[in-house]
Structure 1
Amino acid sequence: MADDHTHVQEFFTARAMDWDARFADDGPAFDEAVRSLGLRPGDAGCGTGRALPALRAAVGPHGTVVGVDLTAAMLGAAVRAGRDREGALVLADVARPPFGSQVFDAVLAAGLVSHLSHPGPDLAELARVVRPGGRLALFHPVGRAALAARHGRRLTDGDLRAEHNLRPLLARSGWRLDVYADEDERFLALAVRLP
Protein backbone atom coordinates (compact mmCIF):
# COMPACT_ATOMS: atom_id res chain seq x y z
CA MET A 1 0.00 0.00 0.00
CA ALA A 2 2.93 2.34 0.60
CA ASP A 3 3.59 2.40 -3.15
CA ASP A 4 0.10 3.83 -3.71
CA HIS A 5 1.04 6.83 -1.61
CA THR A 6 4.62 7.43 -2.75
CA HIS A 7 3.52 9.54 -5.74
CA VAL A 8 1.14 11.64 -3.60
CA GLN A 9 3.76 12.21 -0.91
CA GLU A 10 6.42 13.16 -3.48
CA PHE A 11 4.02 15.55 -5.24
CA PHE A 12 3.05 17.41 -2.05
CA THR A 13 6.48 17.31 -0.40
CA ALA A 14 7.94 19.16 -3.38
CA ARG A 15 5.22 21.83 -3.16
CA ALA A 16 4.63 22.20 0.59
CA MET A 17 6.92 25.18 1.18
CA ASP A 18 5.11 27.48 -1.26
CA TRP A 19 1.65 25.88 -1.35
CA ASP A 20 -0.11 28.69 0.55
CA ALA A 21 1.62 31.41 -1.47
CA ARG A 22 0.62 29.76 -4.76
CA PHE A 23 -3.03 29.67 -3.72
CA ALA A 24 -3.24 32.72 -1.46
CA ASP A 25 -6.64 33.81 -2.81
CA ASP A 26 -8.39 30.57 -1.76
CA GLY A 27 -9.21 31.70 1.80
CA PRO A 28 -12.79 32.86 1.15
CA ALA A 29 -13.57 29.63 -0.71
CA PHE A 30 -12.40 27.57 2.27
CA ASP A 31 -14.51 29.71 4.60
CA GLU A 32 -17.58 29.13 2.43
CA ALA A 33 -16.94 25.37 2.33
CA VAL A 34 -16.76 25.28 6.13
CA ARG A 35 -20.01 27.28 6.39
CA SER A 36 -21.68 24.74 4.10
CA LEU A 37 -21.13 22.05 6.74
CA GLY A 38 -23.49 23.86 9.12
CA LEU A 39 -21.28 23.13 12.10
CA ARG A 40 -22.30 24.21 15.56
CA PRO A 41 -20.05 24.59 18.57
CA GLY A 42 -19.01 21.06 19.45
CA ASP A 43 -16.98 18.59 17.37
CA ALA A 44 -15.68 18.73 13.82
CA GLY A 45 -13.44 16.51 12.12
CA CYS A 46 -5.39 19.32 5.81
CA GLY A 47 -2.79 19.90 3.78
CA THR A 48 -1.29 23.08 5.14
CA GLY A 49 -4.34 23.59 7.35
CA ARG A 50 -5.91 26.49 5.48
CA ALA A 51 -9.39 25.44 6.64
CA LEU A 52 -8.42 25.01 10.30
CA PRO A 53 -9.08 28.64 11.36
CA ALA A 54 -12.57 28.56 9.80
CA LEU A 55 -13.27 25.16 11.38
CA ARG A 56 -12.13 26.45 14.76
CA ALA A 57 -14.40 29.48 14.43
CA ALA A 58 -17.33 27.25 13.47
CA VAL A 59 -17.03 24.84 16.40
CA GLY A 60 -15.92 27.35 19.01
CA PRO A 61 -13.18 27.08 21.61
CA HIS A 62 -14.49 23.83 23.09
CA GLY A 63 -15.03 21.97 19.82
CA THR A 64 -12.57 19.45 18.45
CA VAL A 65 -10.75 20.16 15.18
CA VAL A 66 -8.38 17.62 13.65
CA GLY A 67 -6.30 18.11 10.51
CA VAL A 68 -5.07 14.90 8.86
CA ASP A 69 -2.52 14.68 6.08
CA LEU A 70 -0.38 11.95 4.58
CA THR A 71 2.59 14.26 3.95
CA ALA A 72 4.78 15.46 6.80
CA ALA A 73 5.95 18.46 4.77
CA MET A 74 2.36 19.74 4.42
CA LEU A 75 1.80 19.41 8.16
CA GLY A 76 5.12 21.19 8.71
CA ALA A 77 3.85 24.08 6.58
CA ALA A 78 0.69 24.16 8.74
CA VAL A 79 2.83 24.42 11.87
CA ARG A 80 4.99 27.18 10.36
CA ALA A 81 1.79 29.09 9.55
CA GLY A 82 0.67 28.71 13.18
CA ARG A 83 -2.39 26.67 12.26
CA ASP A 84 -1.52 23.96 14.77
CA ARG A 85 -3.03 26.33 17.37
CA GLU A 86 -6.43 25.84 15.70
CA GLY A 87 -6.55 22.06 16.03
CA ALA A 88 -4.61 18.83 16.36
CA LEU A 89 -2.50 17.83 13.36
CA VAL A 90 -2.20 14.11 12.63
CA LEU A 91 0.16 12.46 10.15
CA ALA A 92 -2.01 9.66 8.77
CA ASP A 93 -3.73 8.26 5.73
CA VAL A 94 -7.35 9.40 5.57
CA ALA A 95 -8.15 6.06 3.97
CA ARG A 96 -7.16 4.43 7.26
CA PRO A 97 -7.95 7.10 9.81
CA PRO A 98 -6.61 6.36 13.29
CA PHE A 99 -9.93 7.23 14.95
CA GLY A 100 -12.81 5.28 16.39
CA SER A 101 -16.14 4.89 14.65
CA GLN A 102 -18.67 7.74 14.62
CA VAL A 103 -16.43 10.23 16.45
CA PHE A 104 -16.79 13.25 14.13
CA ASP A 105 -19.73 15.42 13.14
CA ALA A 106 -18.20 16.37 9.80
CA VAL A 107 -15.26 15.97 7.45
CA LEU A 108 -14.00 18.67 5.10
CA ALA A 109 -11.93 16.98 2.39
CA ALA A 110 -10.22 19.67 0.34
CA GLY A 111 -8.76 18.43 -2.94
CA LEU A 112 -8.81 14.86 -1.68
CA VAL A 113 -10.90 12.77 -4.07
CA SER A 114 -8.48 12.70 -6.98
CA HIS A 115 -5.69 11.49 -4.66
CA LEU A 116 -7.55 8.48 -3.22
CA SER A 117 -6.04 5.14 -4.24
CA HIS A 118 -9.30 3.27 -3.70
CA PRO A 119 -12.09 5.88 -3.75
CA GLY A 120 -15.00 3.61 -2.73
CA PRO A 121 -13.37 1.95 0.28
CA ASP A 122 -11.57 5.18 1.21
CA LEU A 123 -14.82 7.18 1.29
CA ALA A 124 -16.40 4.33 3.29
CA GLU A 125 -13.64 4.75 5.89
CA LEU A 126 -14.50 8.43 6.15
CA ALA A 127 -18.13 7.38 6.64
CA ARG A 128 -17.01 5.07 9.45
CA VAL A 129 -15.57 7.93 11.50
CA VAL A 130 -18.58 10.25 11.00
CA ARG A 131 -21.76 9.82 13.03
CA PRO A 132 -24.98 9.03 11.11
CA GLY A 133 -26.44 12.31 9.87
CA GLY A 134 -22.98 13.90 9.88
CA ARG A 135 -21.65 15.65 6.82
CA LEU A 136 -18.88 15.33 4.27
CA ALA A 137 -17.77 18.27 2.14
CA LEU A 138 -15.65 17.33 -0.86
CA PHE A 139 -14.23 20.69 -1.77
CA HIS A 140 -11.82 22.40 -4.11
CA PRO A 141 -11.44 26.19 -4.40
CA VAL A 142 -11.87 25.97 -8.19
CA GLY A 143 -14.25 23.87 -10.25
CA ARG A 144 -13.42 20.82 -12.31
CA ALA A 145 -13.03 22.66 -15.63
CA ALA A 146 -10.82 25.35 -14.13
CA LEU A 147 -8.67 22.75 -12.38
CA ALA A 148 -8.28 20.69 -15.56
CA ALA A 149 -7.27 23.82 -17.48
CA ARG A 150 -4.79 24.75 -14.75
CA HIS A 151 -3.11 21.36 -15.24
CA GLY A 152 -3.31 21.46 -19.05
CA ARG A 153 -5.82 18.60 -19.21
CA ARG A 154 -9.23 18.20 -20.77
CA LEU A 155 -12.28 17.49 -18.68
CA THR A 156 -13.58 13.96 -19.32
CA ASP A 157 -16.75 12.04 -18.51
CA GLY A 158 -14.58 9.66 -16.49
CA ASP A 159 -13.67 12.36 -13.96
CA LEU A 160 -14.46 10.90 -10.54
CA ARG A 161 -15.83 14.27 -9.40
CA ALA A 162 -18.40 14.46 -12.21
CA GLU A 163 -21.82 14.24 -10.59
CA HIS A 164 -22.84 11.14 -12.56
CA ASN A 165 -19.76 9.32 -11.17
CA LEU A 166 -19.63 10.83 -7.71
CA ARG A 167 -23.27 10.34 -6.69
CA PRO A 168 -23.26 6.49 -6.99
CA LEU A 169 -19.74 6.26 -5.56
CA LEU A 170 -20.82 8.16 -2.45
CA ALA A 171 -24.01 6.09 -2.16
CA ARG A 172 -22.03 2.84 -2.22
CA SER A 173 -19.69 4.29 0.43
CA GLY A 174 -22.35 5.23 2.99
CA TRP A 175 -23.13 8.80 1.91
CA ARG A 176 -26.08 10.60 0.28
CA LEU A 177 -25.09 13.46 -2.01
CA ASP A 178 -27.27 16.48 -1.14
CA VAL A 179 -25.52 19.43 -2.80
CA TYR A 180 -23.41 19.44 -5.94
CA ALA A 181 -21.82 22.67 -7.17
CA ASP A 182 -19.21 22.67 -9.92
CA GLU A 183 -18.50 26.28 -10.81
CA ASP A 184 -15.37 28.05 -12.02
CA GLU A 185 -14.75 29.49 -8.55
CA ARG A 186 -15.39 26.30 -6.52
CA PHE A 187 -16.23 22.63 -6.45
CA LEU A 188 -18.41 21.47 -3.56
CA ALA A 189 -20.11 18.12 -3.11
CA LEU A 190 -21.92 18.03 0.22
CA ALA A 191 -23.04 14.60 1.44
CA VAL A 192 -24.80 13.26 4.54
CA ARG A 193 -23.70 10.09 6.36
CA LEU A 194 -26.40 7.47 6.01
CA PRO A 195 -27.56 5.48 9.07
Structure 2
Amino acid sequence: MDTSPTPRSAAHSRELAETRAFFAERAARWDGKYPDDSPRYAAAIGDTGLAPGQFVIDAGCGTGRALPLLRAAVGPAGTVLGVDLTPEMLEQATAHRDAAALLLADCTRLPLPDAVADLVFGAGLVSHLPGPAAGLRELARVTRPGGRLALFHPLGRAALAARKGRPLTPDDLRAREHLFPLLAASGWAPLSYTDEPDRYLVLAERT
Protein backbone atom coordinates (compact mmCIF):
# COMPACT_ATOMS: atom_id res chain seq x y z
CA MET A 1 0.00 0.00 0.00
CA ASP A 2 1.28 3.47 -0.88
CA THR A 3 1.73 5.45 2.33
CA SER A 4 3.35 8.51 0.76
CA PRO A 5 1.76 11.85 1.70
CA THR A 6 -1.05 13.17 -0.44
CA PRO A 7 0.35 15.89 -2.73
CA ARG A 8 -0.46 19.42 -1.65
CA SER A 9 -2.99 21.29 -3.73
CA ALA A 10 -1.85 24.38 -5.62
CA ALA A 11 -3.90 26.56 -3.26
CA HIS A 12 -2.34 24.93 -0.18
CA SER A 13 1.17 25.37 -1.58
CA ARG A 14 0.44 29.00 -2.39
CA GLU A 15 -0.82 29.67 1.16
CA LEU A 16 2.30 28.02 2.60
CA ALA A 17 4.54 30.18 0.46
CA GLU A 18 2.68 33.36 1.43
CA THR A 19 2.82 32.52 5.13
CA ARG A 20 6.51 31.66 4.97
CA ALA A 21 7.32 34.87 3.12
CA PHE A 22 5.32 36.97 5.60
CA PHE A 23 7.16 35.63 8.63
CA ALA A 24 10.59 35.33 6.99
CA GLU A 25 10.69 39.06 6.34
CA ARG A 26 9.74 39.84 9.96
CA ALA A 27 11.61 37.14 11.89
CA ALA A 28 14.71 39.10 12.92
CA ARG A 29 12.73 41.95 14.46
CA TRP A 30 9.67 40.01 15.66
CA ASP A 31 10.44 39.89 19.38
CA GLY A 32 11.61 43.49 19.45
CA LYS A 33 8.38 44.68 17.85
CA TYR A 34 6.12 43.29 20.57
CA PRO A 35 6.25 43.58 24.36
CA ASP A 36 7.38 40.71 26.54
CA ASP A 37 4.16 38.78 27.08
CA SER A 38 5.78 35.99 29.09
CA PRO A 39 3.46 36.39 32.11
CA ARG A 40 0.40 35.98 29.88
CA TYR A 41 1.95 32.98 28.15
CA ALA A 42 2.82 31.43 31.52
CA ALA A 43 -0.71 31.94 32.83
CA ALA A 44 -2.20 30.33 29.73
CA ILE A 45 0.16 27.36 29.94
CA GLY A 46 -0.78 26.96 33.59
CA ASP A 47 -4.43 26.70 32.59
CA THR A 48 -3.82 23.88 30.09
CA GLY A 49 -3.19 21.25 32.76
CA LEU A 50 0.25 20.46 31.33
CA ALA A 51 2.16 18.32 33.84
CA PRO A 52 5.74 17.19 34.48
CA GLY A 53 6.90 14.38 32.21
CA GLN A 54 4.44 15.12 29.41
CA PHE A 55 5.04 15.71 25.69
CA VAL A 56 4.02 19.13 24.36
CA ILE A 57 4.17 20.45 20.81
CA ASP A 58 4.42 24.21 20.29
CA ALA A 59 2.76 24.37 16.87
CA GLY A 60 3.84 27.46 14.98
CA CYS A 61 6.43 28.21 17.64
CA GLY A 62 7.85 31.22 15.80
CA THR A 63 10.80 32.70 17.65
CA GLY A 64 10.25 30.30 20.53
CA ARG A 65 8.82 32.67 23.11
CA ALA A 66 6.78 29.90 24.75
CA LEU A 67 9.43 27.18 24.67
CA PRO A 68 11.18 27.90 28.02
CA LEU A 69 7.80 28.21 29.74
CA LEU A 70 6.63 24.91 28.30
CA ARG A 71 9.91 23.30 29.41
CA ALA A 72 9.37 24.62 32.93
CA ALA A 73 5.90 23.03 32.94
CA VAL A 74 6.99 19.56 31.79
CA GLY A 75 10.31 19.51 33.63
CA PRO A 76 13.46 17.60 32.68
CA ALA A 77 11.54 14.35 32.14
CA GLY A 78 9.13 15.93 29.65
CA THR A 79 9.48 16.60 25.94
CA VAL A 80 9.04 19.96 24.21
CA LEU A 81 8.97 20.14 20.42
CA GLY A 82 8.79 23.47 18.62
CA VAL A 83 7.44 23.27 15.07
CA ASP A 84 7.42 26.08 12.54
CA LEU A 85 7.10 26.49 8.80
CA THR A 86 9.57 29.35 8.43
CA PRO A 87 13.34 28.70 8.61
CA GLU A 88 14.03 32.28 9.62
CA MET A 89 11.69 31.99 12.61
CA LEU A 90 13.30 28.73 13.70
CA GLU A 91 16.71 30.37 13.44
CA GLN A 92 15.56 32.88 16.05
CA ALA A 93 14.14 30.03 18.14
CA THR A 94 17.57 28.39 18.36
CA ALA A 95 18.20 30.77 21.27
CA HIS A 96 15.93 28.38 23.19
CA ARG A 97 17.50 25.15 21.96
CA ASP A 98 18.19 24.08 25.54
CA ALA A 99 14.44 24.10 26.19
CA ALA A 100 13.16 22.25 23.13
CA ALA A 101 13.86 20.30 19.99
CA LEU A 102 13.02 22.25 16.84
CA LEU A 103 11.37 20.94 13.69
CA LEU A 104 10.87 22.68 10.35
CA ALA A 105 7.48 21.43 9.16
CA ASP A 106 4.01 22.31 7.94
CA CYS A 107 1.58 21.89 10.85
CA THR A 108 -0.95 20.35 8.45
CA ARG A 109 1.52 17.56 7.57
CA LEU A 110 3.59 16.69 10.63
CA PRO A 111 6.26 13.95 10.34
CA LEU A 112 5.19 12.47 13.68
CA PRO A 113 3.44 9.26 14.77
CA ASP A 114 -0.19 9.17 15.83
CA ALA A 115 -1.22 10.00 19.41
CA VAL A 116 2.15 11.12 20.79
CA ALA A 117 1.40 14.53 22.30
CA ASP A 118 -0.28 15.34 25.59
CA LEU A 119 -0.78 18.95 24.58
CA VAL A 120 -0.58 21.03 21.41
CA PHE A 121 0.00 24.69 22.21
CA GLY A 122 -0.67 27.14 19.38
CA ALA A 123 -0.03 30.84 19.96
CA GLY A 124 -1.52 32.88 17.13
CA LEU A 125 -1.70 29.69 15.11
CA VAL A 126 -5.19 29.09 13.83
CA SER A 127 -5.40 32.20 11.64
CA HIS A 128 -2.21 31.20 9.84
CA LEU A 129 -3.01 27.55 9.13
CA PRO A 130 -3.23 26.91 5.38
CA GLY A 131 -6.59 25.17 5.57
CA PRO A 132 -7.67 25.39 9.23
CA ALA A 133 -9.79 22.22 9.12
CA ALA A 134 -6.92 20.14 7.75
CA GLY A 135 -4.55 21.66 10.28
CA LEU A 136 -6.80 20.97 13.25
CA ARG A 137 -7.33 17.37 12.07
CA GLU A 138 -3.58 16.88 11.82
CA LEU A 139 -3.03 18.28 15.29
CA ALA A 140 -5.71 15.89 16.54
CA ARG A 141 -3.95 12.98 14.82
CA VAL A 142 -0.72 13.54 16.73
CA THR A 143 -2.49 14.05 20.09
CA ARG A 144 -3.42 11.16 22.36
CA PRO A 145 -7.07 10.64 23.28
CA GLY A 146 -7.78 12.92 26.22
CA GLY A 147 -4.87 15.18 25.30
CA ARG A 148 -5.50 18.87 24.84
CA LEU A 149 -5.24 21.69 22.35
CA ALA A 150 -4.66 25.26 23.52
CA LEU A 151 -5.18 28.09 21.04
CA PHE A 152 -3.75 31.24 22.62
CA HIS A 153 -3.03 34.88 21.95
CA PRO A 154 -1.88 37.47 24.51
CA LEU A 155 -4.53 39.85 23.16
CA GLY A 156 -8.22 39.23 22.68
CA ARG A 157 -9.80 39.46 19.25
CA ALA A 158 -11.00 43.05 19.56
CA ALA A 159 -7.72 44.30 21.05
CA LEU A 160 -5.70 42.56 18.36
CA ALA A 161 -7.87 43.99 15.59
CA ALA A 162 -7.52 47.47 17.08
CA ARG A 163 -3.74 47.13 17.25
CA LYS A 164 -3.74 46.31 13.55
CA GLY A 165 -6.12 49.15 12.77
CA ARG A 166 -8.84 46.80 11.58
CA PRO A 167 -12.43 46.14 12.65
CA LEU A 168 -13.58 42.72 13.79
CA THR A 169 -15.31 40.97 10.90
CA PRO A 170 -18.31 38.62 11.16
CA ASP A 171 -16.36 35.79 9.52
CA ASP A 172 -13.49 35.85 12.05
CA LEU A 173 -12.46 32.20 12.37
CA ARG A 174 -11.53 32.66 16.04
CA ALA A 175 -15.06 33.65 17.04
CA ARG A 176 -16.70 31.00 19.18
CA GLU A 177 -19.58 30.41 16.75
CA HIS A 178 -17.13 29.57 13.96
CA LEU A 179 -14.33 27.87 15.85
CA PHE A 180 -16.29 25.47 18.06
CA PRO A 181 -18.05 23.68 15.16
CA LEU A 182 -14.74 23.48 13.31
CA LEU A 183 -13.04 21.94 16.34
CA ALA A 184 -15.85 19.45 16.85
CA ALA A 185 -15.62 18.37 13.21
CA SER A 186 -11.84 17.97 13.46
CA GLY A 187 -11.50 15.54 16.37
CA TRP A 188 -11.70 17.99 19.28
CA ALA A 189 -14.27 18.52 22.03
CA PRO A 190 -14.28 22.23 22.97
CA LEU A 191 -13.83 22.80 26.70
CA SER A 192 -13.61 26.54 27.25
CA TYR A 193 -13.49 29.87 25.44
CA THR A 194 -11.97 33.09 26.79
CA ASP A 195 -11.82 36.30 24.74
CA GLU A 196 -10.80 39.25 26.92
CA PRO A 197 -8.73 42.34 26.11
CA ASP A 198 -5.49 40.77 27.38
CA ARG A 199 -6.21 37.11 26.77
CA TYR A 200 -7.56 34.78 24.11
CA LEU A 201 -7.52 31.13 25.11
CA VAL A 202 -9.52 28.22 23.73
CA LEU A 203 -9.06 24.77 25.24
CA ALA A 204 -10.24 21.57 23.60
CA GLU A 205 -9.81 17.85 24.32
CA ARG A 206 -8.89 15.14 21.84
CA THR A 207 -11.90 12.86 21.38
Same fold (TM over 0.5): yes
Does 2:47 correspond to 1:36? yes
Give 1:177's aligned residue.
190
**Equivalences for residues 87-166 of structure 1 within 5 A:** 87-166=100-179
Q: Tell me how far 1:61 sits from its aligned partner.
A: 0.4
- Paired with 1:157 and 1:24, the residues of 2 have a C-alpha distance of 28
Give 1:14's aligned residue.
25
The residue identity in structure 2 corresponding to 1:155 is L
Say what the alpha-carbon RMSD is for the aligned residues.
Answer: 0.9
Give 2:73's aligned residue.
58
- Paired with 2:178 and 2:82, the residues of 1 have a C-alpha distance of 27
Identity of aligned residues (%): 56
Does 2:96 correspond to 1:83? yes
Q: Tell me how far 1:153 sits from its aligned partner.
A: 1.3
Give 2:181's aligned residue.
168
Secondary structure of the equivalent of 2:56? coil
- Paired with 2:70 and 2:132, the residues of 1 have a C-alpha distance of 25
Give 2:15's aligned residue.
4
Q: 2:62 aligns with which of 39, 47, 52?
A: 47
Q: How many residues align?
A: 192
Secondary structure of the equivalent of 1:154? coil
- Paired with 1:24 and 1:131, the residues of 2 have a C-alpha distance of 34
Q: Note the residue ranges of structure 1 that are not aligned, 5 or more in a row.
A: none
More helix by share: 1
- Paired with 2:23 and 2:56, the residues of 1 have a C-alpha distance of 25
Secondary structure of the equivalent of 2:25? helix
TM-score by length of 1: 0.96
Give 2:9's aligned residue.
none
Secondary structure of the equivalent of 2:134? helix
Q: Note the residue ranges of structure 2 that are not aligned, 5 or more in a row.
A: 1-11
Give 2:7's aligned residue.
none
Secondary structure of the equivalent of 1:102? coil
Provide Cα deviations, 1:119-177, integer angstroms capped at 9, x if missing partner: 11210100000001000000111010111111221102210000000110000001011
